[in-house]
Amino acid sequence: MYIIDTDPGLDDAHALAMACRMLPPEQLVITTVAGNVGLGAVTENAAWLLEQWAPEVALYAGAALPLSGAPVDAAHIHGDDGLAGFPRERATRRPHSEHAAVAIAKLARQHPGTLRIIALGPLTNLALAIALEPGLPDLVADLTIMGGSPAQHGNASLNAEFNIFADPVAAEVVFARMRHVTLLTWDASLAHRFSRAELEGFWAGGSAPARTLRALHEHRISNDPEYAANTDFGRPDPLAMAAALAPGCIASAREHRVRVVHDGGLAHGVTVVDERDATSDRAPVRLIDAFHADALRTALTV
């Protein structure tokens, strides 16, 4: 069983398309969290995408606010609606009434040792699920996270990555408690960007996800001159999805303990890779450094 916790989000949409292509719908559950845009919009986007690609996949809405501090968003990147203003009908399906954090805790108990979680947004739902089910770290097989920038290439602040910066308290809870964590950092995504031809090759096919991603991309190209002028494109969430669902594309990784600063100061939301910590009670995190280029492109193709 797989849970994808997400804040769609244009790169989230590509990652969800990969999951819909690679996983049977009965093994997939989607939970949403406020991040790129507000909870209502990311949940509407997830419902709209699933309606076209995998209507039988269960959907749960989660946290609307971070555990602490003021909410932030990335509407300047993803548009106020989260999908760059792409003209579309409102989704007909609604999420389950149960909160995403309750669903995560329940599914972990129902699938002890086999539940795999992929987190593509702020980690608020996961921190809440740990509070609801303290045994979560022993129940979850593994957790793949897109987040953090140990080299401090800030995309949300001077030196912090968005998913962690949006809820650093939740992120510190997750890195301190969870085990079998793989982290796809913003740094790694900067090292694996794609040309426009490569990007358009990912959705050149005839599948429903390919058609949707192509339409979203073409709309953005037509309406966002800054995006259209890019010579290369980042796809952080799809890289995390590739690491989880096609691990053979990982070329190199290292293991260290990770800590998150949440003091409200200049380093608020910074992820610190503690290379000297070999004994603390938190588990080491596998940080991906590089991918095999051909295998990665195959994994991102929908």
Point out which residues bind ligand RIB (CB under 6 A).
7, 9, 11-12, 35-36, 74, 120-121, 146, 155, 161-163, 186, 236-237
- Do residues 203 and 302 make contact, with C-beta atoms less than 8 angstroms apart? yes
Question: Residue 174: helix, strand or coil by DSSP?
Answer: helix
Q: Are the C-beta atoms of residues 139 and 182 closer than 8 Å to each other? A: no
| Residue 187 touches which member of ligand RIB, Ca ion, none, C-beta under 5-8 Å by kind | none
* Burial of residue 210 (number of CB atoms within 10 Å: 0-12, 13-18, 19+): middle
Tell me: does residue 12 bind Ca ion (CB under 5 A): yes
Comparing CB distances to Ca ion, the nearer of 159 and 189 is 189
Q: Which residues pair with 233 in a beta bridge?
A: 194
The nearer residue to ligand RIB, 9 or 137, going by C-beta atoms, is: 9
161: contact with Ca ion by CB under 5 A:
no
172 binds Ca ion (CB under 5 A): no
Place of tokens 């940080």: 287
Please state at what angle helix 39-53 crosses helix 10-22, rounded to 10 degrees.
Answer: 30
Does 4 contact Ca ion by CB under 5 A? no
d(CA 203, CA 10): 13
Give min distance, CB of 135 to ligand RIB, in A.
27
Q: Is position 120 an interface residue for Ca ion (rule: CB under 5 A)?
A: yes
Least separation, in Å, of the C-beta of 187 and ligand RIB? 11
Kindly state the smallest distance separating residue 237's Cβ from ligand RIB, in Å.
Answer: 5
- 3-class DSSP state for residue 60? strand
- Smaller CB distance to ligand RIB: residue 32 or 249? 32
**Which residue lies nearer to ligand RIB by CB, 120 or 171?**
120
> Is the Cβ of residue 12 or residue 133 nearer to ligand RIB in the bound state?
12
Cβ at position 67, least distance to Ca ion in Å: 18
Return the residue matching tokens 């795999």.
116
Smallest distance from ligand RIB to CB 41, Å: 13
The separation between the first and the last C-alpha atoms of the chain, rounded to the nearest angstrom, is: 21
CA distance 88 to 272: 41
Least distance (Å) between residue 41 CB and Ca ion: 13
Least distance between ligand RIB and beta carbon 90 (Å): 22
CA-to-CA distance for 159 and 3, rounded, in angstroms?
Answer: 29
Dist. CA 264–CA 254, nearest whole Å: 29
CB 130 within 8 A of CB 171: no
With CB atoms as reference, the residue minimizing the distance to ligand RIB is 162
9 binds Ca ion (CB under 5 A): yes
Nearest to ligand RIB of 137, 149 (CB atom):
149
Interacting residues toward Ca ion by CB under 5 A: 7, 9, 12, 120-121, 237
